[in-house]
Structure 1
């Protein structure tokens, strides 16, 4: 499911904008060349979180030429311990692109990634826009915008990152679109209000052997609290989450690094099991 990015963008004028452009192009080159994860060159490293998101926006715009327009959102590092591990103090928001969003069951080729990692998520579909809003969004307000809930895999590529050094590269995770390379969506339930989302249990198996379990409460206390954080973060950046878009809200289970030939199953309570075959 991974797809190459295509570098092309118009020149920018200010030094900061020029640095953002160089950083985005450097990321595109890294992905196209299948190079191992490495820190930014000093001349284009983001200075702060705001600049890192500016790089992400530029990188996503370049990648969209090959992968289709942005149609969804993701949350990474929803756990405070993981945030501290990479030197950040809040989760990371990212985008999902059209040609990298598919339905289950799905297949992925390990050889198409530097190092494929898979996460196990609750996804929501939006039925209305969530535009910039003073004060951000509450759980109750975002709940009004949810049209459906689905189980999901996230496919990501850490390009062989050395996790012992990630505390020096937190801003790079932001800029690199939190490593997203797509998502696989399962059964769509519009009657999701009949479910207690925080109490949903999820179970992960590889080749039939259970390898992890979690629940909706692992997503920032409640999946809708995770969605409220995401909508508020997007709002602070002056952006809108659009009706019809999908948001995946973080993994219920620790990331897995599947090998060719393995089948991953994710059973989320109240939904049909979804599968991903890795070739």
Structure 2
């Protein structure tokens, strides 16, 4: 069984792999495996590519995974949710993120201002989840990338167009059952979330890929991942708005 087959089976059967059980030796190979797993999802499980997520957008998380730039993973329609059930995940975490809703195809020539003109932006919450036992923070960067950058789920609220200043160093506040449990800032996301999206566009262009109208991009976390638990989460972002997520 190939590495891609192992990861796909773990995804379908919800039976995680042991850390270190897949043999991946480079980031390039890891992205190839990610592509193979996505092909299995689309061909065998009738999933449709709907966008991407950007991970390791802060120096702190890059140091944790011994890497010097962000990573990306693919989202299908099954990753986009309204509510969540813990039974659907392995070891789910929670992150505050802004979600870019792409209205026009993004190109390698786009500036951050172009990207903001082509995308509506929504308050979001991401649930990272890996197909490995005890994956955070113990999975290798190769395991993370192979597993679509531990894509779990993402949800988002109402979207609008915003300019660069609207998103610059804004505060995000996360509440759990009405109590504040975490705060973070957009500057953790490569200095500015639009910079993370620009990085993704360039990275995909180098690989002959692009981001199409109708897709989404989860741009990177304001905070280190928290354990996901049953209850009601609410994330509020300065200038942007609020999103809620009920977990059962």
Please give the alpha-carbon distance, in whole angstroms, between the structure 2 residues aligned to 1:267 and 1:143: 20
Aligned pair partner of 1:233 in 173, 188, 203: 203
Please give the alpha-carbon distance, in whole angstroms, between the structure 2 residues aligned to 1:163 and 1:28: 19
| Structure 2 stretches lacking a partner, 5+ long | none
Q: Could you list the per-position Cα deviations for residues 161-190 of structure 1 after superposition, in whole angstroms to 9, with x for gaps in the alignment?
A: 254643xx2111001001112211101113
Please give the alpha-carbon distance, in whole angstroms, between the structure 2 residues aligned to 1:250 and 1:278: 21
Please give the alpha-carbon distance, in whole angstroms, between the structure 2 residues aligned to 1:141 and 1:107: 32
Instruction: Report the more deviating stretch, 60-69 or 220-229.
Output: 60-69
CA RMSD of aligned residues (A): 2.2
1:274 deviates by: 1.4
Contact map agreement 2:83 2:246 (CA 8 A) in 1: yes
Number of residue pairs matched by the alignment: 246
Mark the structure with the bigger radius of gyration: 1
Please give the alpha-carbon distance, in whole angstroms, between the structure 2 residues aligned to 1:194 and 1:140: 7
Which aligned pairs between 1:130-149 and structure 2 lie closer than 5 A? 130-131=106-107, 133=108, 138-146=111-119, 148-149=120-121
Contact map agreement 1:67 1:100 (CA 8 A) in 2: no
Which aligned pairs between 1:1-279 and structure 2 lie closer than 5 A? 22-39=2-19, 41=21, 45-64=23-42, 65-66=44-45, 68-102=47-81, 106-131=82-107, 133=108, 138-146=111-119, 148-158=120-130, 159-163=132-136, 165-166=138-139, 169-190=140-161, 192-193=162-163, 196-260=166-230, 262-279=231-248
* Large movers: runs of 4+ above 3 Å: 39-42, 162-166
**Secondary structure of 1:107's aligned partner:** coil
Please give the alpha-carbon distance, in whole angstroms, between the structure 2 residues aligned to 1:77 and 1:67: 29
| Structure 1 stretches lacking a partner, 5+ long | 1-20
Using the size of structure 2 for normalisation, the TM-score is 0.90
Instruction: Report the more deviating stretch, 27-36 or 106-115.
Output: 27-36
**Secondary structure of 1:199's aligned partner:** coil
Please give the alpha-carbon distance, in whole angstroms, between the structure 1 residues aligned to 2:217 and 2:157: 13
Using the size of structure 1 for normalisation, the TM-score is 0.80
